Chain A
């Protein structure tokens, strides 16, 4: 196993942990994007460029966008509910 492979494996382990311990959902979505970038490098270093190409867009753009928009919608609805009750 090369130094590069060990380095990306460590990056993925640290990134996965960072997603779990992120303090709130908003930051979690952003850390998830960075973790996806680490996964992309993992696939690339372990010689699977096909999966790396899918992962780079899905994890850095596709998934965070959906999570962020869902958070915004939930935030909006909570705001409306508070206005209703006040």
Chain B
């Protein structure tokens, strides 16, 4: 197909798509005007019945905790896929641990960048833990806090010290974090089945809305999801890092 024909084809398809998009968009309600019944019910019971002031977390970890179980295992399965694809194959070998790969000063990692990255680690951990444990009170929760926590060891790599990142976040520990988090979240659901007879029904004391220990199972679920998400991201990143920096095809000496 010549360039002209392709452009003509794109022109027709693009114009049609734009027309349908504009027609669809003009029919949308204004931003902030919402008349759905479900949302108004959630608004009504989120704080009074479930004792969580962040309704997104109340929805994710309590009212529709079962949906989150599925979402959590989507992440788990995709990380499993990354591990399977990026594993070390028979013909491949690890680059010998020379001084160069121990320190791994990659081009352009200045002293200022290294100092900044290392100085960021404690504050990133503090923010991550805060976001995980305050999920039911303020915006955030297990997923958001977990991703932020995973970024803390990654700062070690940005500081140019990948081998040290492997020391502070070894494969076994991050894999265990991923697995314990995923299993723990399922156990939160099972605890509902065991103690009150319904899967993912809250069986813990609800506490006072706005307090750190409130919202019943939300806090527990949030911590397990945080563990799973930070583990999952770190497993994925370390497999990418191993492939890019350490594993070489076995042909050359």
Which residues of A approach B to under 8 Å, CB–CB?
1, 5, 46-47, 49-50, 52-54, 57-58, 61-62, 65-66, 69-70, 72-73, 76-77, 80, 83-84
Which of A49, A58, A76, A84 is within 8 Å of B147, CB to CB?
A58
B251 at the interface (CB under 8 A from A): yes
Can you sample 20 A-B contacts with CB below 8 Å? A46-B31, A49-B139, A49-B140, A50-B56, A50-B139, A50-B140, A52-B139, A53-B139, A54-B147, A57-B150, A62-B233, A65-B154, A69-B241, A69-B245, A70-B240, A73-B243, A73-B244, A77-B249, A80-B248, A80-B252
The answer to whether A65 and B147 have CB atoms under 8 Å apart is no
The chain B residue with its CB closest to the CB of A75 is B244
- Cα A62 to Cα B229 in complex, Å, equals 12
**12 additional contacts (CB under 8 A) given A50-B54, A53-B140:** A50-B140, A54-B144, A54-B147, A57-B144, A62-B147, A62-B151, A65-B154, A65-B240, A66-B237, A73-B243, A76-B248, A77-B249
A interface secondary structure, majority: helix
Query: Within 8 Å CB of B140, what residues of A?
Result: 49-50, 53
- Cα A58 to Cα B148 in complex, Å, equals 9
Which of B57, B154, B249, B251 is within 8 Å of A61, CB to CB?
B154
B143 at the interface (CB under 8 A from A): yes
Q: How many residues of B contact A (CB 8 A)?
A: 28
Query: Within 8 Å CB of A65, what residues of B?
Result: 154, 237, 240
- Cα A49 to Cα B15 in complex, Å, equals 35
- Cα A70 to Cα B242 in complex, Å, equals 11
Q: A57-B147, A69-B240, A70-B240 are in contact. Are A5 and B31 (CB under 8 A)?
A: yes
B interface secondary structure, majority: helix
The chain B residue with its CB closest to the CB of A52 is B139
Which of A61, A70, A84 is within 8 Å of B244, CB to CB?
A70
Query: Within 8 Å CB of A1, what residues of B?
Result: 31
- Per-position contact with A for B126-144: 1 when CB-CB < 8 Å, else 0? 0000010000000111011
The chain B residue with its CB closest to the CB of A84 is B251
Query: Within 8 Å CB of A61, what residues of B?
Result: 151, 154
- Chain B positions 214-253 with a Cβ under 8 Å from a chain A Cβ: 233, 236-237, 240-241, 243-245, 248-249, 251-252
Query: Within 8 Å CB of B244, what residues of A?
Result: 69-70, 72-73, 76
The answer to whether A50 and B141 have CB atoms under 8 Å apart is yes
* A48 CB to nearest B CB, Å: 8
- Cα A83 to Cα B57 in complex, Å, equals 54
* A59 CB to nearest B CB, Å: 10
- Chain B positions 152-183 with a Cβ under 8 Å from a chain A Cβ: 154
Query: Within 8 Å CB of A70, what residues of B?
Result: 240, 244
* A60 CB to nearest B CB, Å: 9
- Cα A77 to Cα B151 in complex, Å, equals 28
Interface centre among A61, A72, A80 (most CB of B within 10 A): A61
* B253 CB to nearest A CB, Å: 12
Q: A61-B154, A66-B240, A73-B243 are in contact. Are A50 and B144 (CB under 8 A)?
A: yes
- Cα A61 to Cα B57 in complex, Å, equals 24
The answer to whether A80 and B251 have CB atoms under 8 Å apart is yes
